[in-house]
Chain A
Amino acid sequence: MGTFEPMVPEAYRVRKVIRELADTYTLELESVSGSPLHYAPGQFNMLYAFGVGEVPISMSGDPSQPHLLTHTVRAVGPVTQAICASGRDSVVGVRGPFGTPWPVEKAVGKDVVIMAGGIGLAPLRPAIYSILQQREKFGKFVLLYGSRAPENILFESELHEWRSRFDTQVNLTVDSASGNWKGNVGVVSTLISSIDVDVSNSLVFLCGPEIMMHFSILELIKRGFSKNQIYLSMERNMKCAIGFCGHCQFGPTFICKEGAVFRFDQIERFFRIKEI
C-alpha cells in the first residue's frame, strides 16, 4: 500500500512542558521541518504518540504564533498519558488543523461572553487571546469559568491577569471549596445572572462537559440570549478527523467536520437525545 496522506502525522519537537494541574499539562511544540501551522481559535489537531496512538486535542495557544503550537492535555488514557509524559526535546506527531473555529470575526462590534467549565477553558484560550489582541474591536468582554475545586482551576495566573484588566469582567467559581478559598462557590451557570452585557448584541462561546453546557444554555436563555447567539464545542470519539471513520457522528453531523464548534440552534434538535 502507498501512504495515505491525510492520515500522516508530521513530526513536532516538544519545546516546553508546563504542568498546569495534577493531571493536566501544556505542551509547546515546534515543527521539525520548521513550517508554521496556521489555525483559527477552536480548531484541533490529532496528536500522535509514537506507536501508541492518536487523540484529538484543541489548540490552546496564541493563533498569531503559528510557529509555536500549544496544546493542553489531560492525562486520562494511554495516549494522553504518553503525550503528557513526553519530555522536552522529544517528538510527537501532529495532524491538523481540523474542525470549525469560534466565530471571533462575527463577534466584532458585539459584547462577548466566554463561558468555560473545567478543561473546557483550553479550547477557548486562543479565542481569548485573539479578542484581547484586538480588544478595541469588541464591546464588553466577559469570561465565566467554573471548575471542580480551587486546585483544579486551569490557567489560574492568566485568569488573574485577565481579571486585573480594566476592560474585562472575569468571574470564577468552583463547585466546592475548603480551606482558604475566598472566591465563589457554586455551579458556573449561577454566574450568568450577574453579567453586565447587552444581551441583544452579544455572542456566547461555551465549552465544557456536555451536561454543564446544557445547564448553562438553560440559564443563558433565561437571561434572554437567543439560541443563535450561543456557540458551543462538542466532543465525541474521533479516529480520523477527516470525516471518514464515522466515530464522531452526532445526529446529522460529524463533529470533526461540521464541528467541533456549532451554533446551538443548529444542533438543538439532537442535543438532549439520549445516547445519540
Chain B
Amino acid sequence: MAEKSQVIERDALDDLLKVLREQGYEVIGPTIQESAIVYDRIDGVSDMPVGWTDVQDGGSYRLKKRTDESRFGYVVGPHSWKKFLFPPELRLWRAKRDDAGFKILEEREQTKKYAFIGVRSCELHAIFIQDRVFMGGKHVDPVYKSRREKIFIVAVNCAEAGGTCFCVSMKTGPKAQSGYDLALTEIVERERHYFTVEVGSERGQEVLKELQHREAKHDEISAAEGRTRNASEQMGRTMDINDLKELLYRNYNHERWENVAERCLSCANCTMVCPTCFCTTVEDVTDLTGQYAERLRRWDSCFTIDFSYIHGGSLRKSAKSRYRQWMTHKLATWIDQFGTSGCVGCGRCITWCPVGIDITEEVKAIRESEGGTHGDQT
C-alpha cells in the first residue's frame, strides 16, 4: 500500500467511477433529489451535485449554489449509507404450507457489490458502529454482513463543516483515519482543482493503479491539511462528552426531559436520519389463501407508542420517556452495550428535527443544571 499521499486531478474522479463500475460495483454517490443531497446510483460526475453546498441549522436545511465547481462541497444529507447495508424493508423469508406444516422456500440472491463514493468520516464511524451491532455479537445479520464485506469505500475528508456538525466533539472526524479503500481530500484553488488521495487497502491500491496519479507534493499535502483544519474549526455544534454516560445515568428523572417532551412531536425523524439507529419491527403476513406466509423486517423507531408494547400496554407512554430512551441510548447505554457511543456527531437529528430539538443543547442543559461542566469543553 502506498503510505504517502497521492494526487489525482479533478477529472480523474470520473475515471474512478468508471473503473469501479468496470470492476462490477454498483456505484452509489451523492445526487440531488427533492432539494437535498441523496445517496443513490450514479453513472458519472455529471450525476453529482457539482457546485452545490448545503446550509444547515436546527430544523432547517437548504441547498445553495457555490461559487466553485466542488464535487463534495456540502456535508451530509438526510440519508446515510445505512439504507444500503441495512435496508429499510427486507423480506426475511417466505414459507408455504405443506404436509409437514410449512416449508421455508429457498431463495438465492446475488449480494450487491456496492461502491460508496463520498463517505464522510462521521459516516465511516457510523458504519463501524453498525458493524458492532450487526456482526459483533453472538448473532450475525447475514444480509448486512454479505453487503458489508463487499463494499468499496471512497471516503471524502470534509473541507468545510456544516451548521449542525459536531464530529470533533465525538472524535469521529473530520478526517477519515481508517476503514476506507481510498480517501479523498478535495482541493479547489483558483487555478487548479485536484484531490489528494490516501490509500487504505490493497483493493484501493489496485483501483488507484488504474488512474493517472502521482505522489503528492509537500504543498499539496499541506493544502489538504489546511482543509481538514478549516473543517475542524468550523464545527457548528459542540458536545462535552466527558463523563457523559454517568451524567445521563444520574439524570433519568431530570426535569429537562419534561421540557424537551413539550417540544418533541414524536415524529421519529431523528431515528430515521440517524446513521446508527438500527431498530426494526417484524411483520408476519399471509396471502389471501393463507397458504403462503412471509416475514418482513422494517425500520422502526423507539418514538412510536407501539415500540414498547407488552400485554397490558406500552411501557413508554409519555413522549418524555421516548425521547429519553433515544438520547440515553445514543449517548450512554450504547456505550455499555457496544463499547462505543451511538452518536457520531453528524448533526442530522438536529437538522431534520421539525422543531429543531438539538441533542447538544439537551446534554448541555442537563450538564449545566449539575453545576457547570466537568473537565474540558471539547
Contact = CB atoms under 8 A, between A and B. Distances in A.
B341 interface: no
A3 interface: yes
A32 B300 contact: no
Interface string A238-269: 01101111110101111001000000000001
Interface stretch (A4-12, A107-115, A142-150, A197-205): A4-12
Interface string B85-125: 00000111101010011111011110000000000000000
Interface stretch (B4-12, B204-212, B214-222, B303-311): B303-311
Interface stretch (A44-52, A125-133, A178-186, A216-224): A44-52
Interface stretch (B68-76, B178-186, B190-198, B289-297): B289-297
Contact of B311 (A4, A6, A77, A240): A77
A269 B92 CA distance: 36
A245 B300 contact: yes
B2 interface: no
A1 interface: yes
B253 interface: yes
Contacts of A8: 92-93, 104
Given A8-B93, A54-B284, A252-B336, A276 B133 contact: no
A249 B302 CA distance: 10
B285 interface: yes
A240 B282 contact: yes
A274 interface: yes
A247 B320 CA distance: 17
Contact of B307 (A4, A237, A269): A237
A205 to B, nearest CB: 21
Given A273-B253, A276-B321, A51 B286 contact: yes
Contact of B107 (A1, A48, A91): A1
Contact of B102 (A11, A76, A243): A11
A105 interface: no
Contact of A3 (B92, B134, B317): B92
B249 interface: yes
Interface stretch (B45-53, B273-281, B344-352, B356-364): B273-281
Most B CB within 10 A of own CB, among A13, A51, A251, A257: A51
A51 B108 CA distance: 22
B318 interface: yes
Nearest to B321: A275
B101 A11 contact: yes
A91 B106 contact: no
Contacts of B138: 242-243, 257
B142 A50 contact: no
A275 B300 contact: no
Given A52-B284, A247-B308, A275-B321, A3 B106 contact: yes
A93 interface: yes
A124 B36 CA distance: 55
A237 B309 contact: yes
A48 B133 CA distance: 25
B104 A239 contact: no
Contacts of A20: none
Given A3-B93, A4-B143, A50 B252 contact: no
A53 interface: yes
Interface string B114-157: 00000000000000000001100111111100000000000000
Interface in B312-364: 315-318, 320-321, 325, 329, 332-333, 335-337
A24 B109 CA distance: 42
Of the four ranges (under 10, 10 to 19, 20 to 34, 35 or more), the interface on chain A belongs to: 35 or more
A243 B249 CA distance: 22
A236 interface: yes
Interface in A62-103: 76-77, 90-93
A237 B310 contact: yes
Given A3-B104, A11-B102, A246-B300, A236 B311 contact: no
B244 to A, nearest CB: 14
Contacts of B332: 252
A50 to B, nearest CB: 6
A244 B318 CA distance: 24
B284 A249 contact: no
Given A54-B284, A253-B337, A6 B139 contact: yes
A51 B285 contact: yes
Contacts of A6: 139-142
Contacts of B335: 252
B321 A252 contact: no
A90 B102 CA distance: 10
Nearest to A6: B139
Contacts of A236: 308, 310, 315
Interface of A: 1-8, 11-13, 32, 48, 50-54, 76-77, 90-93, 235-237, 239-240, 242-247, 249, 251-254, 257, 269, 273-276
19 contacts: A2-B108, A3-B93, A4-B92, A6-B140, A6-B141, A12-B101, A51-B293, A92-B101, A235-B310, A236-B315, A245-B281, A246-B280, A246-B302, A247-B279, A249-B329, A249-B333, A275-B318, A275-B320, A275-B321
Q: Which 5 A-B pairs have the closest CB atoms?
A: A91-B101, A51-B286, A246-B279, A275-B321, A252-B336
